[in-house]
Amino acid sequence: MNGAWWMVLAAACFGLMGVFVKLAAATLGTVELVFWRTAFAVLLLGGNALLRRQSFATPLLVRHLQRGVLGYISLLCYFYGISHLPLSTAVTLNYTSPLFLALLSMILLRERLSATALLAIALGFAGVALLLKPTLHGLGMLPVLVGLGSGFLAGWSYLHVRELGQAGEAEWRTVFYFALISTLGGLLLMLGQEWHPLTAANLPWVLGLGVTAMIAQLAMTRAYKLGRKLLVANLSYLTVVFSALFGVLLWQHVMTAGELAAMGLIILSGILAGRR
């Protein structure tokens, strides 16, 4: 299997992860869902590192903390969006992260953006406005802003991921510390609050969430390792397509022409932003 097909698998699994989040949200809160999602990764990556006798020590703890906090809040916003918005809408809002990454690179890092990147940002936010016009009318402001916030914070966290990579940090440690910080953050947020029990009704959804997220991460990593980076990055937007299909099949969310056009604009803008 070449890199392109690994990314198709990753996109399908990320779409399925959203399905499991939406199903589990009927009985579990957003903080709990993120906790189980990241605790699964901590156990998997930490156990694998112990078996391989890999070192957890790193001189980049501050950068890991910055990335971890931003990534954790982004994940909270994303899961909240999935719980309260149509699946395809929540996923599309999260996939505005390349636009925010380009914008933040210009603001925070003083990078000069090409005309293509500026066009991408304009197209992307036009797509967001088109997508959210009917959504705001039907569901209110808060879920929409939180969903869009997931894309903004994800883009910001990717700045720190890039810095960690440029500093020579191992990829598994970057993912592990993000999962660890998120899991500890979940425990802190849940102090004094009621935990909802895992039951026969919601346990399959929690396990499905953990398994699909793990497969998606592994498949995505393999895709970037084996495939052409630009092609693989573009194929990642298939997650939006899979999410739309799952929304139609499971929740009968029939998409309008305007929603389809908006998603197309956001996908196109993300592809252009990735080429900056």
Quote the pLDDT of residue 260: 84
Q: Stretch 134-155: mean pLDDT, rounded?
A: 81
Give the distance, in angstroms, between the CA of residue 130 and the centroid of all CA atoms in the same chain. 22
**Unique residue bearing structure tokens 């009968």:** 252
The structure's pTM equals 0.89
Can you give the pLDDT at residue 52? Answer: 92
Residues 55-83 pLDDT 10s: 999 999 999 999 999 999 999 999 999 99
State the pLDDT at residue 83: 93
Q: Which of the pair, 213 or 132, is modelled with greater confidence?
A: 213
The C-alpha atoms of residue 31 and residue 176 are separated, in whole angstroms, by 19
Percent of residues, the chain, with pLDDT higher than 70 = 94
Q: Is pLDDT above 70 for 137?
A: no
Q: Supply the mean pLDDT for the chain.
A: 86
Tally of domains within the chain: 1
Where does the pLDDT of residue 2 fall: very low under 50, low under 70, confident under 90, or very high at 90 and above?
A: confident
Selected residue with higher pLDDT from 29 and 102: 29
Please check the confidence at residue 276 and state whether its pLDDT lies above 70. Answer: no
Residue 168: per-residue pLDDT: 85
Which domain range does residue 152 map to? 3-274
Strands (E), the chain: none
Q: With left for phi above 0 and alpha for psi between -120 and 50, is residue 196 left, alpha or beta? A: beta
At 14, the pLDDT band (50, 70, 90 cuts) reads very high
How many C-beta atoms surround the C-beta of residue 227 within 10 A? 18
d(CA 41, CA 177): 10
For the residues 188-196, what does the mean pLDDT come to? 85
**Alpha-carbon span 255 to 265, nearest angstrom:** 15
For residue 75 the two structure tokens come to 């994940």
Mean local confidence (pLDDT), 37-44 = 91
Residue 49: per-residue pLDDT: 92
Q: Note the pLDDT of residue 79.
A: 96
105, 111 contact by CB (below 8 A): yes
Task: Copy the structure tokens of residue 81.
Answer: 């969006």
Tens-place pLDDT, residues 222-263: 787 777 766 677 778 889 889 988 998 999 887 788 888 888
Name which of 208, 86, 65 is nearest 147 in CA terms. 86
Phi, then psi, of 68 in degrees rounded to 5: -65, -45
